[in-house]
């Protein structure tokens, strides 16, 4: 986030219009990556929570894979 703040500060003082557009593009790209990463993290948390619920309810494939088998 400090990087984005610094880029925005530099963009604000930039006098060349084409360079300001580059700052805008770079800032947008960084924000998109951060949003994707945030979404991915939320999905991982949700998957982890679902695995816990499934294991507690006895429906986890990983915990029940050997159930009923004689070795």
| DSSP string of 19-61, one letter each residue | HHHHHHHHHHHHHHHHHHHHHHHHHHHHHHHHHHHHHHHT--H
The ranges assigned to domains in the chain are 2-48
Question: pLDDT over 70 for what percent of the chain?
Answer: 82
Residue 28: the pLDDT is: 95
Whole-model pTM: value is: 0.58
CA distance linking residue 32 with residue 24, whole number of Å: 12
Q: For tokens 């610094």, name the residue.
A: 6
């Amino acid at each position: 986030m400090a990087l984005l703040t610094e880029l925005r500060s530099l963009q604000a003082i930039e006098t060349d219009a084409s360079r300001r557009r580059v700052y805008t593009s770079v800032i947008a790209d960084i924000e998109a990556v951060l949003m994707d990463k945030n979404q991915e993290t939320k999905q991982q948390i949700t998957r982890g929570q679902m695995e816990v619920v499934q294991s507690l309810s006895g429906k986890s494939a990983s915990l029940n894979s050997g159930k009923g088998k004689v070795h």
